[in-house]
Structure 1
Amino acid sequence: MSQVLDTPPPTAPAASPAAPAAVGATPAEADRAGTDLAALAVRHGLTVSGARPTLPEYIRGLWARRHFIGAFSTAKLTAQYSQAKLGQVWQVMTPLLNAAVYYFVFGVLLQTKRGVPDYIPFLVTGVFIWTFTQTSILAGTRAISGNLGLVRALHFPRAALPISFCLQQLQQLLFSMAALVVILLAFGVPPALSWVLAIPALVLQFTFNAGISMIMARIGARTPDIAQLMPFVLRTWMYVSGVMWSIDHLVSAHGGLPSWVGTALQANPAAIYIDLMRFALIDSFHASQLPPHVWAIATGWALFAGVGGFIYFWKAEETYGRG
């Protein structure tokens, strides 16, 4: 009996260095265990799931998926009117019908066409170019919140979504441009070498649209209700962008306006890209008459929105699809 009572209790097995700290461990022991686990993860190439990559890695990953971006945007464009009997014809008919409504309301009833040469080409160009910006931003606002299943199921740079939606709208604009060329020719606007300037103008506008879309995609991912507000914001923006009327004529007709109002209207990025396209395509708006600083402002807006929007979106990469 005395031998049993005097027998020392069995010694507990030593904990593995990589095992988590036991309950009641001191802070120093817990830190040491965490360090051991971190070293083990690094040794085996393990990383945090969903962690934000560095900016160069993010750009490389986005470039590697450029084929997915193109295919995704084309598929979305094809499916957009798949349920309509006229199908893809609506890609051209929708902006044309909008232009017809604006012509009746503003050109006929409000007489905004007075003093504006080639008003119908002027109006249709403005509607088409504005629609490109409007639809890109609206689609970008829902790029994350409207595709949560895709975001949560697959690992890819999330910026691919707003960029692909902008590319979809660019493809739709190119269909509309074919109709615009027919309208220009029908109203006596001859082809000119200045039409080539439409290409860099569209590149700058696409860069600007993509940047704003990425900004709105991040905001929309956190606050989905912003998508309900955006149509009102964009409609107000359209009315101050000279889509249906000439900003120059408005400023000259209202000489009592503060000088900053005219400057703000003319520096409006939507108005800048519309003016670039009008001066490139319409003979009565000679490209040589376009002040050189307009191209500089257009480039500045594109770089500011494109680069700034991309970085702003990337900073929240690890938060998309969570919560």
Structure 2
Amino acid sequence: MSQALHTPPSPPSTGATTPTGATGATAAAPAETPAQLAARYGLAVSGARPSLPGYLRRLWARRHFITAFATAKLTAQYSQARLGQLWQVANPLLNAAVYYFIFGILLSTKKGVPDYVPFLVTGVFVWTFTQSSIMAGTRAISGNLGLVRALHFPRAALPISFALQQLQQLLFSMCALVVILLCFGVPLSFSWLLVVPALALQFMFNAGVAMIVARMGAKTPDIAQLMPFLLRTWMYVSGVMWSIEKVMHNKDLPHAVLLALQCNPAAVYIDLMRFALIDSFHADQLPPHVWAVATGWALLAGVGGFIYFWKAEETYGRG
């Protein structure tokens, strides 16, 4: 019995015929591919990009993380400063004061613009929301590689949380804005309720652009160095410190330039906030179909930016 168990089988004779009729050694079974082995043992690629609906479900499941991360970032932003969280209001107010001196007084852009100080402060606060969201988005992945490589979560949570952080910052600043409006004689109005849909559309737009630049910044960190120049140029053509309507009325500009100024997304959201808050900013100063334009920009940037970011999900933090 023992000899039978330990005796290896005899090799086939040289002239033996294989089941297929070929002469020689029996053909070896083909080896399984890595994909077949993974399927047989129930293995999956680590960090593989999920489907778009699955990615949305995972992102929604991390909504508490997104909110907590944004709040923690906002709290820590001025933790080392003596004035602490007062800088959340002081920073945009100081920017508005500088712009008022340069553009309102030295360059006289306040001429013909009623309620210029509320007009300017509203523009500065709303523009800062967009500018800060995009700047934070450029470093959302490259500046948080330790978190990206250590934890498994939908990476879109990072640029969205940075946009949410800037929204929270804006809400703090809105308290100062309300005081300024009342001090300069702007009355309370039911139109102030339009702030809610206007900010919702702007947040969707900002988060979408933040996701676009986050993907670009993850591969090319130099984007963060170039972005301040692009944003500064964008600010100057967005009517933050001057009235686009006045310029269009007094200048013989090409139709393409007029259309670009009217449909500029930053200018659209600034105009909506001015229309909601400032009594002297009338509907005839708004671009045609302004709410449709604002919604279109929000959907284009929000949905398009999300899909663009999701397509590179499995590359973040690698290489």
Q: What TM-score does the superposition give when structure 2 sets the normalisation length?
A: 0.90
After superposing on structure 2, the runs of 4+ consecutive aligned residues of structure 1 that deviate more than 4 Å are 7-11, 287-292
Q: Deviations over 1:101-149 (max 9, x none)?
A: 0000000000000100100000000000000000000000000000000
Q: Which residue number corresponds to residue 282 of structure 1? A: 278
Letter aligned with residue 116 of structure 2:
Y
Q: Deviations over 1:11-63 (max 9, x none)?
A: 8xxxxxxxxxxxxxx99824x35464133233xxx211010000011000000
Cα pair 2:201 2:295 within 8 Å, conserved:
yes
Q: How many residues align?
A: 298
For residues 232 and 10 of structure 1, do their structure 2 counterparts lie closer, same or farther at Cα, with a shift above 3 Å needed?
Answer: farther
For residues 8 and 261 of structure 1, do their structure 2 counterparts lie closer, same or farther at Cα, with a shift above 3 Å needed?
Answer: closer
Q: Which residue number corresponds to residue 41 of structure 2? A: 41
For residues 67 and 259 of structure 1, do their structure 2 counterparts lie closer, same or farther at Cα, with a shift above 3 Å needed?
Answer: same
Q: Does 1:29 align with 2:30?
A: yes
5+ residue gaps in structure 2?
A: 1-6, 12-26
5+ residue gaps in structure 1?
A: 1-6, 12-25
The CA distance in 2 between the partners of 1:151 and 1:27, in whole Å, is 45
Letter aligned with residue 159 of structure 2:
P
Q: Which residue number corresponds to residue 89 of structure 2? A: 92
The CA distance in 2 between the partners of 1:144 and 1:104, in whole Å, is 37
Q: Which residue number corresponds to residue 174 of structure 1? A: 171
Cα pair 2:141 2:317 within 8 Å, conserved:
yes
Question: How far apart are 1:241 and its partner, in Å?
Answer: 0.2
Cα pair 1:273 1:298 within 8 Å, conserved:
yes
For residues 292 and 264 of structure 1, do their structure 2 counterparts lie closer, same or farther at Cα, with a shift above 3 Å needed?
Answer: closer
Q: Which residue number corresponds to residue 127 of structure 1? A: 124
Letter aligned with residue 190 of structure 1:
P
* 1:118-267 equivalent positions in 2, closer than 5 A: 118-255=115-252, 257-267=253-263
For residues 225 and 154 of structure 1, do their structure 2 counterparts lie closer, same or farther at Cα, with a shift above 3 Å needed?
Answer: same
Letter aligned with residue 157 of structure 2:
A
Question: How far apart are 1:290 and its partner, in Å?
Answer: 4.3
Q: What TM-score does the superposition give when structure 1 sets the normalisation length?
A: 0.89
For residues 27 and 262 of structure 1, do their structure 2 counterparts lie closer, same or farther at Cα, with a shift above 3 Å needed?
Answer: farther
SS, match of residue 202 in structure 1: helix
Q: Does 1:54 align with 2:51?
A: yes
The CA distance in 2 between the partners of 1:28 and 1:235, in whole Å, is 66
Cα pair 2:269 2:294 within 8 Å, conserved:
yes
Cα pair 1:139 1:213 within 8 Å, conserved:
yes
Q: Deviations over 1:135-174 (max 9, x none)?
A: 0000000000000000000000000000000000000000
Percent identity of paired positions between Structure 1 and Structure 2: 78
Cα pair 2:38 2:44 within 8 Å, conserved:
no
- Between 1:289-298 and 1:139-148, the stretch displaced more is 289-298
